[in-house]
Amino acid sequence: MLIVICGPTGVGKTSLAIKLCQKFNGEIISADSRQVYKEADIGTNKFRSRKSEARSQKSEFRIQKSEVKIRKGEGYWIQEGVKIYLYDVVEPDRIFSVAEFVKLADKALKKIVRLGKVPFLVGGTGFYLGAFLGEMPYSLVKPDWELRRRLTSCSISQLISQLQILDPKMVKKLNTSDWNNKRRLIRYLELAKAAGSVDKAMTRFPFSATHLRVSKIGLTASRQFLYQKADWWVRQIVDHGLIEETKYLMEKYGENVPLLKGLIYRPVAEFIKEHKLANASFGSRQESAAAQEELVEKIQHQLHACIRRQLTWFRRDRGIKWFNIETVPYSEIEQFVAQLIGQF
């Protein structure tokens, strides 16, 4: 059996999974598009607490780290005695694809099953979860950087016109989001040029070949509760090392790496450039409280939007058994999982 734990950012998926793994002899496969990156720990929430402090081995600044006992390996961490696969698998200057995730997750799943343990697939990146479970198609076509560079200067209407020539069936399938997403349209053109059409470029992972039954657990709460949790977390990471971690990544890998263009890190990188901190020595300057507060609010706003998107995504899946963390105690979820495992 494979137990999936999904839900929006900050709802407590990993914390729950660790408790369940301790109880039922399990291991975790992380399905998070940002936790795969090495040296990015604070902004990706790999550390689940800030109560103790440790010096980074690869930089001079001090960052707040978890009081939880952590041991790092190649492509995994061990937290509280539980192994979490797909942490720290690529450098921050690499683009990590869903195809790579599926390959690595499959390898981890086979290893967990071979050890006789219960696999838990845990994360908030719905596309990764769907692709691995064979529910959503994905592409093996690698990025064509020259093509992307040329298409970047095109307008939305020009991109759609080109797609109409290459793959008119795909144009008919475009939804409102597609019509306003330049990066997605460029990807569609890339796939159509490489394979003749977008559909021909897509594949599905044969998860059914694993012969594992899947049970999905969803954690949720009211939006107000989720926003409050997210707001508290953002304030903690900004106060305890996120800016320093981002500076370090910018200095080592440059400002344009994929990780720094995404959630959490992008507004911090912009903040650093705006305040000309990129070349400042760590801890040598104090930013004004007002400027830092503005940064906090910007990240919080973006995280609220991310939570809404995640809720919308997961609520379309009728196969998820939902638990509201505001009202349901851990013991009830544990009992549910015990019943699932006891059936096999």
Residues forming the annotated binding site? 7-14
Question: Residue positions in the annotated binding site for substrate?
Answer: 9-14
- Residue 32, φ and ψ in degrees, nearest 5: -130, 125
Q: Write the CB contacts of 181 (distance below 8 Å, at least 6 apart in sequence).
A: none
Q: Write the CB contacts of 174 (distance below 8 Å, at least 6 apart in sequence).
A: 160
How is residue 24 written in tokens?
């039922």
Q: For residue 206, give the nearest of 140, 120, 133 by alpha carbon.
A: 133
Q: Write the CB contacts of 198 (distance below 8 Å, at least 6 apart in sequence).
A: 167, 170, 188, 191, 192
What angle do the packed helices 13-24 and 330-342 form, to 10 degrees? 50
CB-CB contact of 86 with 64 (8 Å): no
Q: For residue 26, give the nearest of 37, 34, 17, 35 by alpha carbon.
A: 17
Question: Residue positions in the annotated binding site for ATP?
Answer: 7-14
